[in-house]
Amino acid sequence: MNKNKLLYFLKTKILTKQVAFGAFGLAITAGLAGTIGYKYSHPFKPSFFNYKQYMLEENQDIIRKYFDYKEFDTLNQFTNAILTNKAVAGIGSDAQAVNLIKKNKLKKINFHKLFPNVISESDLENKDILAQKLQELYTEQVWQHLSSYDKELEVDENGKEFSDGKRHLWEYFTPYFSQDMVVAYNPSKVLNIKNDENLNFKKYYDLDKQILNDLITTNEDNENDNSWEAGSFSLYSILKTLKKYGFNNLEATDAVRDNMIYGSGYRFDKESNKYVDSYATGKGNDFDNGIKDHKELINQFADLIKNSTGYSLNSPKINFIGDGLELVDRIVNPASDIQFGIIYNGDAFDAYKGADNVNNSHDGAIRYIKPKTNLLLIDGLVIVDGIDKEFEDKVYEVVKNSFLEGLGDGQWEDSGVDKTELHSYLNFDNVGYTPAFKKLVDFIEENDFEYIENWSKPSTMTDVSDDEWEDMKKYEQQYASNLFAINAKYNLKVPGTLQDLITSGDKTYTVNHYDIKPVDEKTLTEIETYWNLKIKNKRKTRVFLF
């Protein structure tokens, strides 16, 4: 009996424990193998950030090869990701990058790895040579804009000089796309043109002529208007004139720093008893021209809107919208009551190509005017300081093979390469904003508006001869090209013709582009709080950390 109990004990206790331990060991081994296998097939991917809907999907896929591609709703989300070590690279704004450079959070760009056929390794050691070669790559407006931040980068966030000397935004930032502002308007909505069945460009041009002629002259409507300056193409005069011709429902971007720039160009001068633009600035604090604080600029923007349209900022006649696609849809869509808007040129360019966006719309339906007091926004690539060397090299690899493809690797100069198949061009074709690179901009201006030559004359335009239609198409080509371009001077033509509208001087008018200067978090909060009070009863504005 005792012998049987001993055997039972050996079988049920000791042997089963051995089996259990063995099974447990096998389970651990299998688990580790599974984990290792998963990590091997799903390696760690640090995060690359970008704005929503701001890159061709195919380019996103190239980046996803090594990175977790994330889209943010507000720029502040990307800033926080950098400050909390949750991002290694991404597309951010110019002013955001300046603040991060002052905090020592960004790494200098190795431009040789981005543009190996343009910039050598030895060029990186000579700041003057590097600057010269980058200046040759970028458009004139972009280079001037990047250089304009030099003063902000003389000291760090604590006001102390950098140990490595004065810094430059262009050393830490590779430009992506640029934008300025236009006032866009949809004449179909005041001319009762419902669809293509009664489309007639001549009706557009007749209205455009009236609007432009009003803007370059002083008449009985504005001879006693102390905000009016004939031929200035101020935002005030443009809005007032459009309101006169029946444009009543306005949309505008809800970016308060943008609107502060527009407001800064509308300041009452006691000596002249006029509203002047000589105080225009991109600053948000520390003003040196008599402006007290940000509240004055926001109030001036409110005055500008009120005096030109009759509307307060919280009027139901004004819609402040943060989504570019929504801005485009509302102004193009015949079912929307929005008739005109203060929007970015890239969004207006998208709206101009209405047939691509909304049913029952057509290309050329949107018209525009660029105001004199303007802004220039540039987004670009930044790389976070402290990034692992392996991932830094992979950032350069995926960027060079995606949205910068062909711009510095020799492909653009290869006659056997179809430039329209390069990812840099395809990215523009998808996003629609103005690129920062000279060779890409030149190519687009030379080739992308030729499709207008193939427009067929609408059957409704029986009062337009074939020769007149050819002139109209040439006019539209220049019109679309001027919308795409970001320049300091613009030559306007009499609508529908190739005749100069402005006949004096160099036959152009000047557009002054101001850059948004960065402010600290406390000031930004104060700006946003005051802005939201001014537009109360509206939906909240987006928060941008500049």
Q: Identify whether residues 95 and 173 lie together within a single domain.
A: yes
Question: Helix, strand, coil proportions of the chain in percent (round to 5)?
Answer: 45, 15, 40
Q: Identify whether residues 174 and 231 lie together within a single domain.
A: no
- Structural tokens at position 542: 């987006």
pLDDT bucket at 192, cuts 50 / 70 / 90: confident
Q: Identify whether residues 356 and 481 lie together within a single domain.
A: yes
Q: Identify whether residues 408 and 342 lie together within a single domain.
A: no
Q: Identify whether residues 66 and 129 lie together within a single domain.
A: yes
SS3 at position 350: helix
Do the domain assignments include residue 34? no
Q: Where are the strands (E) in 10-144, listed by range?
A: 47-51, 68-72, 89-93
Single-letter amino acid, residue 98 = V
Task: Kindly report, residue by residue over 456-499, the tens digit of the pLDDT.
Answer: 998 889 989 999 999 999 999 999 999 999 999 999 999 999 99
Task: Kindly report, residue by residue over 398-421, the tens digit of the pLDDT.
Answer: 999 999 999 999 999 999 999 999
Domain count, the chain: 2
Name residue 383's beta-bridge partners.
89
CATH (domain of 195) = 3.40.190.10
pLDDT bucket at 29, cuts 50 / 70 / 90: low
Confidence (pLDDT) at 161: 96
Mean pLDDT check: name the lowest of 147-161, 186-200, 481-495.
Answer: 186-200
Q: Identify whether residues 159 and 283 lie together within a single domain.
A: no
Task: Kindly report, residue by residue over 416-448, the tens digit of the pLDDT.
Answer: 999 999 999 999 999 999 999 999 999 999 999
Q: Nearest 10 degrees: CA dihedral of 359, 361, 367, 373?
A: 0
Look up the pTM and report it: 0.89
Contacts with 476 (C-beta within 8 Å, 6 or more apart), sequence order: 364, 452, 455
Q: Identify whether residues 414 and 330 lie together within a single domain.
A: no
pLDDT bucket at 223, cuts 50 / 70 / 90: confident
Confidence (pLDDT) at 20: 47
Q: Is residue 191's pLDDT more than 80? A: yes
- Structural tokens at position 4: 């049987």
Closest CA to 82 of 66, 112, 102, 63: 102
Q: Identify whether residues 109 and 250 lie together within a single domain.
A: no
Taking residues 230-245, report their average pLDDT.
97
Confidence (pLDDT) at 464: 93
Residue 97, domain extent: 47-179+378-428
Q: Identify whether residues 87 and 205 lie together within a single domain.
A: no
The residue among 353 and 89 whose pLDDT is bigger is 89
Task: Kindly report, residue by residue over 47-57, the tens digit of the pLDDT.
Answer: 999 999 999 99
Task: Kindly report, residue by residue over 279-326, the tens digit of the pLDDT.
Answer: 999 999 999 888 999 999 999 999 999 999 999 999 999 999 988 889
Confidence (pLDDT) at 199: 77
Q: Is residue 362's pLDDT more than 90? A: no
Q: Identify whether residues 241 and 289 lie together within a single domain.
A: yes
Do the domain assignments include residue 10? no
Whether 241 and 268 have beta carbons less than 8 Å apart is answered as no
Confidence (pLDDT) at 533: 95
Do the domain assignments include residue 29? no
Rg (CA), the chain: 29
The residue among 171 and 10 whose pLDDT is bigger is 171
CATH (domain of 110) = 3.40.190
Do the domain assignments include residue 263? yes
